[in-house]
Amino acid sequence: SIIFAGQIIPLYNPKPPSVNLQDYTTHIDLIISLARIMLLQAIILGGGVIVTSVLNARQNFLLPAVGNVLYNVGIIIGLLPGVFLAFIGHRNDITAAYAATWGVVLGAVLQVAIQIPGLRKVGMHYTFSFDWRHPGVIQVGRMMVPRIINAAMLYFSIFVDRFLIVLLVANALSGFVTQYYQALQILLLPLGIFGMAISTAAFPTLAENVAKGRFDRLRSIIQETLRSILFMSIPSSIGLIALGLPIVQVLLEHGEYNLQSAAFTTFPLAGFAIGLAGLASVEILTRAFYALRDSVTPVIVSVLQFIFKIALSLILIN
């Protein structure tokens, strides 16, 4: 992705009809440069995922949680230079953007570094090896391919959403791509708390019960987790729909982001909120299949969901 960013980024950011070519080229060149820096975090977090998985398997959730906090601390540190320059009257948006991007990389380093002592505590020591024939490596490799497809469907779905917005409604709703992503980011807060966090904590227990053949206990845990997720996500969904505008205003309304922008953001936010309970429930159901070593079924469901979503998007976008 770092090498071919120049070819990938324009595909993900097609030129809107209302933007002239020079401005578009300048915009794309900046995105490519920032993307190449930000993609360094993928290399860092790639190893960090393994560390987190080991700690979670040992029922250690504290250090991964602290790591997530430090990731955000790194991002905040990256934002400070831009804020400082603006405060002293020397605002430089390009410098601020590069500093914020390097802040993301710093956050990734902090997130992984804080977890490494936890590996030693649970008795894990890294030994460099190229033993690709190890049964565990082969098993992970077989299960990883459907998992990659499943993850890719999510990002491809977001890409298609962006493409449809830019090509079909860019002239009618200026800036709607930004408002779409802002609504998505707001949704990720309750989804991360009620869906991803609970499901991540439950996964080691699910896998343990599968390994011991305690399928009655497995079903019980899935049902209890689902009830907990629905108990918290449904009120959150109602709150995002009913209080969407004031929430967006408090979080985002400043500078050039006015009341009209906030109102436009509440439309996709309400749509996302309707699906919050379902999205949160999918997290535990997907992990239940992974615990059963079935990584194919989630992919089939994900592909069917994607086809259904695109069909509805084309129908409803008008």
- Taking only the tens place, the pLDDT of each residue in 114-141 is 999 888 887 777 777 777 788 888 888 8
Residue 255, sorted as left (phi over 0), alpha (psi -120 to 50) or beta, turns out to be left
Residues constituting the chain: 318
User: Residue 22 CA to chain centroid, in angstroms?
Assistant: 32
Q: What's the pLDDT score for residue 172?
A: 47
Helix axes 176-191, 244-252, angle to 10 degrees: 100
Amino acid identity for residue 156 in this structure:
F
At 273, list the tokens: 């909120």
Q: What's the pLDDT score for residue 280?
A: 92
At 32, list the tokens: 């490519």
Q: Helix (H, G, I), strand (E, B), or coil: what is residue 253? A: coil
Residue 66 domain-assigned? no
Instruction: Give which of 38, 182, 55, 159 is closest to 117, Cα–Cα.
Output: 55
Residue 7 domain-assigned? no
Q: Based on the structure, what is the number of domains in the chain?
A: 1
Report, as ranges of residue numbers, the positions in the chain whose pLDDT lies below 50.
172-173
Residue 60 domain-assigned? no
Q: What's the pLDDT score for residue 151?
A: 80
Q: CA 284, CA 197: separation in Å to the nearest integer?
A: 10
Residue 310 domain-assigned? yes
Q: How far is CA 76 from CA 41, 70, 167, 169, in A?
A: 16, 10, 34, 33
Residue 175 domain-assigned? yes
| Structural domain containing residue 176 | 134-318
Residue 88 domain-assigned? no
Q: CA 174, CA 158: separation in Å to the nearest integer?
A: 19
- Beta-carbon count within 10 A of 1 CB: 11
Radius of gyration of the chain (CA): 22
Amino acid identity for residue 249 in this structure:
Q
At 40, list the tokens: 């360094």
Q: What's the pLDDT score for residue 175?
A: 67
Residue 108 domain-assigned? no
Q: CA 105, CA 40: separation in Å to the nearest integer?
A: 7
Q: How far is CA 126 from CA 46, 119, 123, 129, in A?
A: 15, 9, 10, 9
Residue 148 domain-assigned? yes
Rounded to two decimals, the pTM is: 0.73
